[in-house]
Amino acid sequence: MHIINSTLTYLHDFAFYYPFFMAYLWMLGAIYYRVMWENKQKRKIDDPPMLDLEPPVSILVPCHNEGANVLDTVDFLLNQEYSNFEVIAINDGSTDNTGELLDQLESKHEHLRVIHLASNQGKAMALKTATLLAKSEYLLCVDGDALLDKYATRWMIRHLVKRPNVGAVTGNPRIRNRTGILGKIQVGEFSAIIGLIKRAQRIYGRIFTASGVIVAFRKTALHEIGYWNNDMVTEDIDISWRLQLNHWQIFFEPNALCWILMPETLSGLFHQRVRWAQGGAETFFRHFNHLFQWRSRRMWLIMMEYLTSVVWSYTILIIVAIWIMQQFYNISDLVSVEGLLPGWAGTLLIFTGLFQFTLSVIIDSRFERNLHRNIFWMIWFPMSYWMINMFATVVGFPKAILKKQGQRATWISPDRGIHQ
């Protein structure tokens, strides 16, 4: 009995300490990144460093039923402040008017090319086809509902040009839709969690995901690893891990902004996060054998971070389950957990969350001046982030285990919030 209770005490401590110390690790990493790299550039976002010769870039936009968004997306892409680029829009078997809209645009714009896939093949195959037909060594992939900042291409491509071992560069996604509660909370999450994590992960030297919504690739790197896998629910996590396992570097470019739409309903958000959690687990299982080899040691920190987060999710599940049982049955002789309501430790966590947000506002204020206006909503983001991720991992992890091998991933039309 004593062993069970002392184990539970350890689990309870772990449940608290993990998010607490991870928050400080991300903050410290982000501060270091900001001071040592971002500040040293001394450049404004609209003043990216110029290359002596701008190499050709192919901007790939996979679209499936994007009739409502594709005009704006392509319009932003065609306005890139870059001298040498083509835009390739891929209509992946859309059943709405995406194809017709793209054909109309293609006839008007010299830099726009269109590829129609006769049948729906999924995002990975759409990107592979466009890569085959793209003229350039450098590819920039953007989602069909995202708006790319006009300086983003210049900010990202310079890393690929200057460093031959950089295989990909991920940009800085920013949330557009902030009408509902979930939209507002995600603004903080993308700044205070994702922005800080990416900076901190660059400090470790490896990145968990080069976000598929805005990422630049070197075609040679993609060819070396065999391009995107058709059967992964999150092709971006998989390709990020494979590039890094093959010793390609992935850089994060915070100045490359991309304005994105995110879910604003609880079910939409939950489905998206389950898909991300499943994708992370699928990637982990797919590369399990490689990950433990000595040559993959640079990935161990990322792997440990991932595995600890999975263990943490199940720990929380166990604690909550026991706490609920305690409310209905007298099991205190057998097992007992302390209350779930925030005491001193909870308050400390909430303050850590606010501190984290304040830091992200300071770091990100040059991208969005009015970011601090969301601070009223931000008190929820640590709780919502950790709780949603906990539930998503608990559901997504077994889904990855039970998934049939080789099953093709298909397009999922996500909830894109209130944006019409």
Partner 1 sequence: MKSLIIDSPKQLNLRQKYAHNIFRFLLALTWFYCLVPVLTFINWFLAYTFFEQNFILLEGYKEYQSSTTLAYLTVIAAMIIWIILWVNLKKVLDVKGVGKEHLAPVSIAEISGYFNIEQNKVAEYQKCKNTEVHFDQDGNITELKQR
Give residues in contact with partner 1 (CB under 8 A).
Answer: 20-21, 24-25, 28-29, 32, 36, 72, 75, 103, 106, 112-119, 121, 125, 128-129, 131-135, 137, 147, 163-165, 167, 176-181, 203-205, 219-221, 223-224, 226-227, 230, 247-249, 259, 347, 350-351, 354, 376-377, 379-380, 408, 417-420
Distance in angstroms (rounded) separating the CA atoms of residues 342 and 348 = 9
DSSP, collapsed to helix, strand or coil, labels residue 399 as: helix
Q: From CA 353, how far away is CA 356, in angstroms rounded?
A: 5
Which CB, 148 or 310, lies closer to partner 1? 148
Q: Give the integer Cα–Cα distance in Å for 66 and 148.
A: 16
Minimum CB distance to partner 1 smaller for 317 or for 414? 414
Which sign does the torsion angle of CA 277, 145, 116, 218 carry? negative
Assign residue 207 a region: left if phi > 0, alpha if psi is -120 to 50, beta otherwise?
Answer: beta
CB of 334 to partner 1, least distance (A): 28
Nearest distance in Å: CB 31, partner 1: 9
Would you tell me the crossing angle of helices 235-245 and 123-133 to the nearest 10 degrees? 60
Nearer to partner 1, 228 or 241 (CB): 228
Are 98 and 66 in contact by the 8 Å Cβ rule? The answer is yes
Residue closer to partner 1 by CB (options 60, 281) is 60
Closer by beta carbon to partner 1, 259 or else 312: 259
Nearer to partner 1, 79 or 332 (CB): 79
Neighbours of 73 (CB within 10 A): 22
Nearest-Å Rg of the Cα atoms of the chain is 22
Smallest distance, partner 1 to C-beta of residue 362, A: 18
Q: With CA atoms as reference, report the closest residue to 151 among 292, 15, 256.
A: 256
* For partner 1, the closer CB: 226 or 398: 226
- When the beta carbons of 203 and 274 are compared against partner 1, the nearer one is 203
What minimum distance in Å lies between the beta carbon of 52 and partner 1?
17
Q: Is 49 left (phi over 0), alpha (psi -120 to 50) or beta?
A: beta
- Measured between its terminal Cα atoms, the distance across the chain in Å is 58
Could you tell me which residues are beta bridge partners of residue 141?
60, 215
Q: How far apart are CA 27 and CA 353, in angstroms?
A: 10
**Rounded to an integer, what distance in angstroms lies between the CA atom of residue 396 and that of residue 89?**
31
CB of 201 to partner 1, least distance (A): 12
